[in-house]
Amino acid sequence: MQRQRIGYIDTAKGILILCLLFGHCRILAQREGLDDPVLQVMGSGIGLYRPFFMQTFFLITGFCSTFRIGFRPFLLKNLQTLLLPAILLDLLCYGIMAATGCTEQSFGIHLAGFSSWLKMGGPWFIFALLWAKLLLWGISRLKMPRQLLLVVVLYLLGLALNHFEWFDNFLWHRHALLAVPFLYGGFLLKDKMDRVQKYLLPAGLVGMALIVAENLLSHFTAFTLPANDIFIDVDFFNFPLHFMNVAGGSALVFWLAQRLVKSRTLSLLGLGSLLAYLTNETVQVPLIRLIKPLCPAGSIAGCLGFHFAAYALCVAVICLLIWLIYKHRALSWIVGKW
C-alpha cells in the first residue's frame, strides 16, 4: 500500500527546485554567451539560498525516508529510485543534447566513456544522497548517543578529506559524508514537527538575516560564504555558521511551504524534483539558444524582461515534462523520485 504524500513536503521541494532552476538559468545563459547587468544581479540573488538549499533537500529526504526495513530491500529500493534514473536519464539527455547540437562531444564518445561516469560518480547529488542514505541506515541501528557520535565523526572525516585532499573525490564520497548530519536531522525531525512548528518563522527570519549579513561581508571582504553544493566551501572554521544557515533557511522553506501548499505548480515540481534535477540542463540549453536572439542589447528593462521570460518558460516546460511522465506508471517508475 503506497503511503500518502505529505502536501507541504512536495511544496517545499518545489520551492527548492525553483531555486535550482533560477541558478542554472543564470549559469547556462552565461555559458551560452549572454552577459548583462541583470545576470550579475541574478548571481547575487543566488547567494541568498545557496548557503542552505541543497542541504535542505537532504534534510527533507531524511524526513521522508524509512530506515526500518532490511538492508537488501533498502539498497534495491534506492538503486531503483536514484541510481537507475540517473543512468537512464543521463544517456537519454545526452543523446538529445548531441542530436540537437547542444554539446560538442558525440553520443558515441560519451557512451564509450560511460564507465568513467560511473567511476567518478555522475551527478554529485545522486551519489552523495545514495551513500549518505546507506550510511544512515547503519547509523539508525545504533542507540543514542552512539548515533550522534558517529554522525559527528563522519562529518569531521568529510571535512578532513576535503581539506587535505589525500585522493580524488571518488564517487563524491566527501559530499556524502558531509550530507549525513542533514539527512540525520531530517530523520530526527520526522516525529517532532509539531513541537518545532511555532519556531519556523522566527528561525527562518533570523537565518535569512544572517545569510544577508554574510553576503554583504563576502562582498566587501575576503570572507567565504559557507555553502556546499557541487563546490564545498565549508571548512573546520565556518561549518558552525553553515549549520546555522541550513537551520534558518530550511525553517523558512518549511514555513513558506505550509502556506503555499495549494500551489499546483510547486506541488508538481516537488513530485518530479528528481526528474527536474536530472533533466533541467537538457531543457534549458535549447530554450536559451532558441530565444537568445530576442535578448535586447543595452536595455536593463528589456534584459530583465528577457531573463524573467526565459526562466518562466523553463519552469513551464519542466512542469509539462513532469506532468506528462508521471501520468504513466511505467515512466514514473523509471525516472524515480526522492
Q: What is the DSSP string of 194-240?
A: HHHGGGHHHHHHHHHHHHHHHHHHHHHSSPPPP-BSSSB---TTTHH
Res 19: pLDDT: 95
Q: For residue 1, tell me if it sits in a domain.
A: no
**Separation CA 162–CA 169 (nearest Å):** 8
Q: For residue 176, tell me if it sits in a domain.
A: yes
Q: For residue 227, tell me if it sits in a domain.
A: yes
Q: For residue 20, tell me if it sits in a domain.
A: yes
Question: Residue 44 sits in which domain range?
Answer: 7-335
- DSSP designation for 83: I
Res 203: pLDDT: 97
Neighbours of 333 (CB within 10 A): 13
Assigned C-alpha cell, 185: 536531522
Q: For residue 147, tell me if it sits in a domain.
A: yes
Task: Find, among 26, 17, 30, the residue nearest to 307 by Cα.
Answer: 26
Q: For residue 293, tell me if it sits in a domain.
A: yes
Tens digit of pLDDT for each residue in 140-198?
999 989 999 999 999 999 999 999 988 888 889 999 999 999 999 999 998 888 899 99
**Separation CA 67–CA 135 (nearest Å):** 10
Res 2: pLDDT: 46
CA angle, 289 then 291 then 296, to 5°: 115
Tens digit of pLDDT for each residue in 1-59?
345 667 799 999 999 999 999 999 888 888 888 888 888 888 888 999 999 999 999 99
**Separation CA 31–CA 47 (nearest Å):** 19
Neighbours of 232 (CB within 10 A): 18
Count of domains observed in the chain = 1
In contact, 13 and 269? CB cutoff 8 Å: yes
**Separation CA 333–CA 312 (nearest Å):** 28
Res 302: pLDDT: 81
Please, how many CA atoms are within 13 Å of residue 285, restricted to the half-sphere of its CB? 15
Assigned C-alpha cell, 233: 566551501
Alpha-carbon 43 to chain mean position: 17
For all residues of the chain together, what is the average pLDDT? 88
Q: For residue 2, tell me if it sits in a domain.
A: no
Assigned C-alpha cell, 125: 547529488
Tens digit of pLDDT for each residue in 215-241?
999 989 889 999 999 999 999 999 999
Q: What is the mean pLDDT of residues 244-267?
A: 96
- In the block, cell 533557511 appears at 249
CB neighbour class for 82 (10 Å; exposed up to 12, middle 13-18, buried from 19): buried
How much is the CA Rg of the chain, to the nearest whole Å? 20
**Separation CA 178–CA 168 (nearest Å):** 16
Higher per-residue confidence, 67 vs 99: 67
Q: For residue 127, tell me if it sits in a domain.
A: yes
